[in-house]
Amino acid sequence: MLRKPKLAVTMKRKLLQILVAIAKRWKEISLLICVLGALLSYAIPPLRKHTNAFLVLCAIVVVQLVLDIRQIVSKSPLPAKYTSLHEAITDIDTAMRKAMAKKRKKPLEIRIVAGRTMTVANMLKTLGEDVRVGRLLCRETKVMLFCVDPSFAMNLDLSIVRDKDAFQRNMGIYAATIESNCKTLAQFNLDEECKRQGLSFEVVHYKFMPTFFSFLIGNELLYWGSYTWDDVRQDFDGPINPCFRVDHSNEFFVDTYEWQYNRTEFLWSLAKREEETLSA
């Protein structure tokens, strides 16, 4: 048989709930107290000298409430889910630029897991160009781009593919695109202005087809989504799939971020092991 909670415990919980409610609505409660104080002081002649003080307090609280309302109305919250990466890419670009320009005690690291780089490359090339010509302030930022190895894409053979010739042609296009985009990004590492501002790009290749995409912006913000196989087109879909945004306000941020960060560490370790094997 369950025991009923003690009266003292119950009263303590109720008191805590009341205090929490007061803390959340303290401005409204303060305004009510000030209005009542002004009315009572005006109604009672001996206290009438305090009416102006209550009215001043009312005005201060009203201004605070107006500012809060204005901030809520003017600030449009970013969605937690986008219909696709294409829809999210502008917000991702904005978030990266803000993070890059922000003063920090430690350098910023942005990790991007892509597939064939076709969606993210233009954004990164524009970002690098803006830093190069001085349109974007950058404070020591390293961008790590994880993407499919071009040689792997060229030699990929899937048993479920019906038209292998068409599939190989597409893979050839993807391989050339990846290689070209990675070479362009590497050029920014040689630019003097990018060096001065501390912007660098590192490309890490992996040798399997993409399963997810993600943008880890420092340890503050994460955008991510998944790749799926389209049996009709006989190709992988990524950028047209939903994209999710998770930040510190989300209760799942830490778990989701650590999961995605761990995957990038895994991809980095695989690439380094591959380099060691080839150089041995």
- Helix segments in 44-163, DSSP class H: 51-74, 85-101, 120-132, 150-154
- Tell me what the pLDDT averaged over the chain comes to: 86
What pTM does this model have? Answer: 0.72
Q: Give how far Cα 186 sits from Cα of 144, 179, 204, 251, Å.
A: 11, 11, 12, 37
Question: 147: which strand partners?
Answer: 205
Domain residues of the chain, as ranges? 13-74, 81-279
Structure token digits, residue 259: 């999961």
- Residues of the chain with pLDDT > 70, as a percent, come to 84
pLDDT of the residue at 2:
43
Please give the Cα distance from 251 to 99 (Å, whole number). 22
Which pLDDT tens digit goes with each residue over 200-258?
A: 999 999 998 899 999 999 999 999 999 999 999 999 999 999 999 999 888 899 999 99
Give yes or no for a contact between 193 and 130, defined as CB atoms under 8 angstroms apart: no
